[in-house]
Structure 1
Amino acid sequence: MKDSYLVEAILGSEDLLRSYRNRNFWKGRIDPVKLQSIFSWHRLNELLATHRITNDRLRLSLADDYKTANMVAFRPGRDQFGRPTDILSISALHQLMGCGVTGVLEATQELVPPLEVLTSEISTRLQARSSANAFFSFGSSSGFGPHNDDHDVIVIQFCGQKHWQFFRTSPSLDKAKVDDLAAPGTAEKGDCVLMQEGDVLFVPKGTWHDVSALNAPSLHVTISIVFPTMSDFIRWLLTKHRYSIPFQDIRSDDDPSTVAAICADFLHTEIGCDTVSTFLNEYYARHSARRTNPAFPHLNRVTPGDSFIRLPYTFITLHNDKRLATRTISALGRKHCISELEHEVLKRLSHKAPSTLKDIQSFNPKHGPNTAATIKAIEGLLDKGLISKM
């Protein structure tokens, strides 16, 4: 129940989902007691005490200084076996936090299972990449200054309070986004939102805001919702054609109007519905909706009661060798050679709901009686990391 509570509370809110679809700001509330059974100061202390937290996992920041605090808290050193690593000084961290520094524990879903369940479900339902970062602070200074995020964010206040300052464009009272303001100042201050334990925000991509604690402990988590952008698409397109038009020089004596016409013709010719679809297929074939679950002690063997789920959103068939009855596919950023039966199982297996061996056998009746062949196909896909046990 605890692992699924956040999914039910967040993704079960029709108001939040409506705001997400309409790209509108939203504020709601869920049970703070249940929240603190999932993540709290006690759990954060446990993580800092029992995990090797290096500077790529924990960032420290003030609004006008992103480097000094990290240099003070972390120093190069060696572990118990003499291997080089970053060493976090807890005493230095305490002092820095007391001076108003904000700490960010990145990819917290990798350390807190209910957050992993939530981010995986967001990835699965919304076809987005998702991650959770935990923010903790004690002072009253801003950790990052006025800024906007290049993705949608769900904010969950687990402990304490946090002050969110939003900005507006005069005379509008709406929350300003990056396309409304280049850099907000005091004159553009708009709504203030005081986040209490149990409060939840949906902050659309690009919304200007400034966040600070109130001279008291505050712990909140942000859930990112990240989609491919037009910029990603254009970079992908240019890379695909890097040795044709985009590769050509523009010399100082070239006619600018001719260059512009060549570029416009290239983009007009190459950009279309099919191109966008191909890009999205390749994009989603690189990223997993959820991580592979470990399956000790049986490893990647099919045992009674197992259920299975496909990891990537999609995969691309690159080559079909009828002579060898194999397919070459692209999935999770790699090429894989799989059998026809493995291809059939992968094609029909859902990334949204798990299937049992019996379910998989029913995908195609001609393979139904051959349990051994189906098991071999499932185990082959498990060995390649393309599907996972649930």
Structure 2
Amino acid sequence: MLIDTLLGDLPRSVFFQEHYLQQPLARPSTAAKLRELATWDTAERLIETPACDLLLVRDGKLWTGPRPASAREARALHAQGYSIVLRHADRHDAGLAELGRTLSAELQGTVNLQLYCTPAGHGSFGWHCDPEEVFIFQTLGAKSYLLRRNTLNPTPLHETLTDAPDVSRERTPVQECRLEAGDWLYIPGGYWHHVSAPEQESISISVGLMPPTPIDVLDFLRTQLLRSRAWQRRLPPLGHASPLSDAEKMEVYRSLFQELGGELKKMMEDPRQVLRFMATSASAGIRSSALGLGTPARRDEKD
């Protein structure tokens, strides 16, 4: 398995017990075979692929000009301190797509893969957190990471990232990590991080893996409930013209909630539903890193 190669002499059981979904882990050299997946040749080819989403950012500020028309134009902006961010690059490169699918198959989750080309002496985004479990593979140069546990919103979702508090409110200690080419870093979802390439230009692959959450269970069950007559029926009127008093409305709806909750409980206890959910989640993860997918990137996606 790829994860075993990346972990090297660290047992997989230790990774899951002590790090995955819990705390960062950096491993030296074990990602050396992935270096060929992200080079300047790779980046320039993707830059000149119009369908590949490209973002330029310098020390936390986005480039507001037009998308570079060529790799030469992008490299000129890179020389001015702008990081080149190629988002969902796996949809336009077979090797990166295979990396995304492999991680999804081994750990399960939908994939958000990005390629970062960061100039020396600069960073891309400032302090931020991501909802995904993030795997960083350093393929060229070096990068420095500042990491901080998120105690304010430790398990954010994409929908709740706008609610993320300012990292300055944290009182957790800052951890430091440096990646050289061939190294990799795991950052748990929600962890604050700040990234820079202090001494030399850097290229890295960022793979965000979003595991299933209870919200996904709710979304999955909704598709099943749409076929239930009990869940399609109309509820008693609540308007001012209703013949029911407020106390009667409260009692009717309390009884309805209890009844619907019982039906939902039966559905969730059915092992067939569990198997369907597991199969649906696995399939969604594999499909999320596929060549030719045209889904636009979210504007709030970062590494």
TM-score of the pair, normalised by structure 2? 0.68
Aligned AA (2:54)? L
Match of residue 72 from structure 1: 65
Aligned AA (2:278)? L
Shift of 1:8: 6.3
**1:44–1:280 Cα change, 3 Å:** same
What is the SS of the residue equivalent to 1:233? helix
Shift of 1:268: 4.2
Aligned AA (2:110)? R
**Counterpart among 279, 282, 291 of residue 281 in structure 1:** 279
What is the SS of the residue equivalent to 1:163? strand
Match of residue 57 from structure 1: 53
Match status 1:209 vs 2:193: yes
Shift of 1:46: 4.2
What is the SS of the residue equivalent to 1:18? helix
Q: Is the 8 A contact 1:19 1:202 kept in 2?
A: no
Match of residue 142 from structure 2: 161
Aligned AA (1:10)? L
Note the alpha carbon deviations across 1:309-359, whole angstroms, 9 max, x for none: xxxxxxxxxxxxxxxxxxxxxxxxxxxxxxxxxxxxxxxxxxxxxxxxxxx
RMSD: 3.8
**1:115–1:248 Cα change, 3 Å:** same
Note the alpha carbon deviations across 1:12-61, whole angstroms, 9 max, x for none: 6644663245423211012676444443224323443xx4234x522223
1:127-146 residue pairs with structure 2 within 5 A? 127-138=108-119, 140-146=121-127
Match of residue 364 from structure 1: none
Question: Greater Rg, structure 1 or structure 2?
Answer: 1
Aligned AA (2:55)? R
**1:152–1:268 Cα change, 3 Å:** farther
What is the SS of the residue equivalent to 1:278? helix
Distance in 2 between the 1:177 and 1:62 partners? 27
**1:249–1:208 Cα change, 3 Å:** farther
Distance in 2 between the 1:218 and 1:204 partners? 22
Q: Is the 8 A contact 1:101 1:139 kept in 2?
A: no
1:259-274 residue pairs with structure 2 within 5 A? 259=253, 262-263=256-257, 265-271=259-265, 272-274=268-270
Gaps of 5+ in 2: 156-163, 241-245, 292-303
Aligned AA (2:109)? A
Aligned AA (2:50)? I
Q: Is the 8 A contact 2:105 2:285 kept in 1?
A: no
Distance in 2 between the 1:73 and 1:37 partners? 29
Match status 1:121 vs 2:93: no
Q: How many correspondences in the alignment?
A: 265
Task: Compare 124-133 and 8-17 and name the one that shifted more.
Answer: 8-17
Shift of 1:217: 0.9
TM-score of the pair, normalised by structure 1? 0.55
Q: Is the 8 A contact 1:151 1:225 kept in 2?
A: yes
Note the alpha carbon deviations across 1:217-248, whole angstroms, 9 max, x for none: 11111123232221122123234335726974
Match of residue 298 from structure 2: none
The sequence identity of aligned pairs, in percent, is 18
Distance in 2 between the 1:246 and 1:211 partners? 52
**1:163–1:178 Cα change, 3 Å:** farther
Note the alpha carbon deviations across 1:136-171, whole angstroms, 9 max, x for none: 111545422222222212111111121211124xxx
Match status 1:19 vs 2:53: no
Q: Is the 8 A contact 1:73 1:89 kept in 2?
A: no
